[in-house]
Amino acid sequence: MAKLAVVAFGGNALLRSGQKGTYKEQIENVSQTCQSLLGLLKQDYNIVIGHGNGPQVGNVMLQHEAGNKTFGLQIMPMDFCVSETQGSIGYLIEQGFRNIFAKENIKKNVVTIVTQVEVDREDPMFKNPTKPVGPYYDKDEADAYAAETGSIFREDPKGNGWRKVVASPKPLKVANIDIVKQLANAGNIVVTVGGGGIPVVVKDNQIIGVEAVIDKDLASALVAVEIGADEFYILTDVPKVYLNFKKPNEKALDTITIAEAKQYLQEGHFTEGSMAPKVRAAIYFVESGGKECIITEAGQLGNPACGTRIVR
């Protein structure tokens, strides 16, 4: 039987540092990442893909703001913005794979599922939102938007201005996960939990979208656990996880245990805005029954010794 793998695309798979996020840039970046996954496909893997959406959802929010100022159009809530980017990024990934498959004479379907992810409405993160989203504002603009929408704005530590902050709650349940598993096991490439999934809560048996951003690595890890994936890949912009990153005593990690990963987290080797969430997602997957999680850059895929492997 084919092995089943979940692959989480990092933001660099869609938009590189210094780029503006044009359609041409994004389709070229996605196509390169899709090309790198051929190694897994040729090793008879079935693949499910999760992806980030940070720059894209920020651009969508800017578009809504411009439409509001110019034409009086409503600014849409966070869950709606995430759904928009799930569709647009899913299209780019499908386009990338289909063009590569045409060249390689591969016959395989690529399916994007616009995916809701349930969170707990009592999650403590809702009481202390810290995840910055969207554009920067000056203090007066931020105060005006806060008064108008009830959103919370906080000053950027680097002095770039004020940004809206939302909660980043823990993902609990992925909608249509059984269908994701069926499609993947049938040999289709499935794109799901884009941007961590559309954040929703259940109240009085009704599904309600909420102002939140779910970590895409943790949501992808949940997918990997729920579908019984053999392996979980987290793609980033470095080939391995490092201790003392970019310092004279920098050390690349090849294979580490869950206990070692937890120790390194506790010692502060991994930053919250970069590697720490990825390592936590890896720990969750392996602790929940997964065989191993590999953190690496896309170009390393297909190499049996690629990346840092987190094992039991």
> Could you tell me the CATH number of the domain that includes residue 302?
3.40.1160.10
Quick one: 102 and 140 in the same domain? Answer: no
Considering only CA atoms, which of 74, 93, 90, 70 is closest in space to residue 82?
Answer: 90
Statement to judge: residues 250 and 297 lie in one domain: yes
Say which range, 13-17, 249-253, 270-274, has the weakest mean pLDDT.
13-17
Domain match, 115 and 204 both: yes
Q: What percent of the chain has a predicted confidence (pLDDT) above 70? A: 100
Which one-letter amino acid corresponds to residue 279? Answer: V
- Considering only CA atoms, which of 112, 79, 76, 106 is closest in space to residue 93? 112
Q: Which of 54, 58, 196, 216 is catalytic?
A: 216
Q: What is the structure's pLDDT at 154? A: 95
Alpha carbon 23 to its chain centroid, in Å, reads 19
| Residues 37 and 81 sit within 8 Å (Cβ to Cβ) | no
- Residue 89 and residue 230 in one domain: yes
**Which residue, chain included where needed, has tokens 């690629």?**
306
Could you tell me if 73 and 178 lie in one domain? yes
Where is the domain boundary, 166, 190, 225?
166
Q: Do residues 10 and 53 make contact, with C-beta atoms less than 8 angstroms apart?
A: no
| Whether residue 131 lies in the annotated active site | yes
Q: How far apart are CA 68 and CA 201, in angstroms?
A: 27
The secondary structure of the chain in percent helix, strand, coil, rounded to multiples of 5, reads: 40, 25, 35
- Residue 175 tokens read as 């909608």
The verdict on 31 and 175 lying in the same domain is yes
pTM: 0.95
pLDDT in tens, 74-133: 889 999 999 999 999 999 999 999 999 999 999 999 999 999 999 999 999 999 999 999
The reply to whether 59 and 18 lie within a common domain is: yes
Which one from 164, 181, 240, 278 is the annotated catalytic residue?
A: 278
Residue 131 CA: distances (Å) to CA of 126, 153, 156, 164, 173: 11, 10, 11, 8, 21
Which band of pLDDT confidence, cut at 50, 70 and 90, is reported for residue 14? confident
Annotated active-site residue 108? The verdict is: no
Same domain, 138 and 16: no
Q: Do residues 144 and 185 share a domain?
A: no
Residue 237 and residue 275 in one domain: yes
Give the number of domains in the chain.
2
Q: Same domain, yes or no, for 258 and 287?
A: yes
Does an H or E element contain 243, and which?
strand 241-243
Q: Exactly one of 10, 12, 181, 307 is catalytic; which is it?
A: 12
Of 166, 195, 222, which one is at a domain's C-terminal end? 166
Range of the domain at 38: 3-120+171-311
The span from the CA of 198 to the CA of 51, in Å, is 12
**12 flagged as catalytic:** yes
- In this prediction, residue 203 carries a pLDDT of 94
Task: State whether 160 and 200 are in the same domain.
Answer: no
β-bridge partners, 252: 242
pLDDT, one tens digit per residue, over 268-301 is 999 887 899 999 999 999 999 999 999 999 888 8
217 vs 193: CA distance, rounded Å: 10
Catalytic pick from 10, 11, 52, 96?
A: 11
Give dist(CA 131, CA 253) in Å, integer.
28
Tell me how far apart the alpha carbons of residues 94 and 233 are, in angstroms, rounded to a whole number: 19
Q: Is 278 considered catalytic here?
A: yes
Kindly give the pairing relationship between strand 173-174 and strand 162-166.
unpaired
Q: Which is the catalytic residue, given 54, 59, 131, 134?
A: 131
pLDDT tens string 118-164: 999 999 999 999 999 988 999 999 999 899 888 899 999 889 999 99
pLDDT tens per residue, range 161-196: 999 999 999 999 999 999 999 999 999 999 999 999
